[in-house]
Amino acid sequence: MSFSLNLDTPSEMQDRVRAAARGRRLALGLTQSELATRSGVPLATLKLFEQKGRISLTGLLAIADALDAVAGFGALFPAVEATRLDDLDRPAARQRARTRKSP
């Protein structure tokens, strides 16, 4: 069994994602302009992302899709696994019902 501990801060992780996306773009031989066109993300937004790591989730997913790397997002928030038999009997977490606004 392999155990991996991630000690990256959010800022370090942001930098790793930024660098990995840029590295993948370069490895695929794409210019920033080409990736912007493929992803639908404005060139200025792509440049800001590659320089500082700032981008919306929608933009990040569009870039990942254009770089054929969106599959990794499926593992971002893994389901909590039962660790005891009692956990299996526990009802699923309730979601809040929407409240209606008065007219």
Task: List Cα–Cα distances, 96 to 78, 92, 93, 99, in angstroms.
Answer: 21, 13, 10, 9
The answer to whether 24 touches 67, Cβ cutoff 8 Å, is yes
Residues for the chain: how many in total? 103
Give the model's pLDDT for residue 84.
Answer: 75
Q: Per-residue pLDDT tens for 33-68?
A: 999 999 999 999 999 999 999 999 999 999 999 999
Class of domain 11-72 (CATH, top level): mainly alpha
Give the model's pLDDT for residue 77.
Answer: 84
Q: Per-residue pLDDT tens for 1-23?
A: 455 556 789 999 999 999 999 99
Q: Which residues contact 41 (CB under 8 A, 6 or more apart)?
A: 35, 49, 55, 59, 62, 63
Q: Distance (Å, rounded) from C-alpha 13 to C-alpha 17?
A: 6
Give the model's pLDDT for residue 1.
Answer: 45
The model scores a pTM over 0.75: no
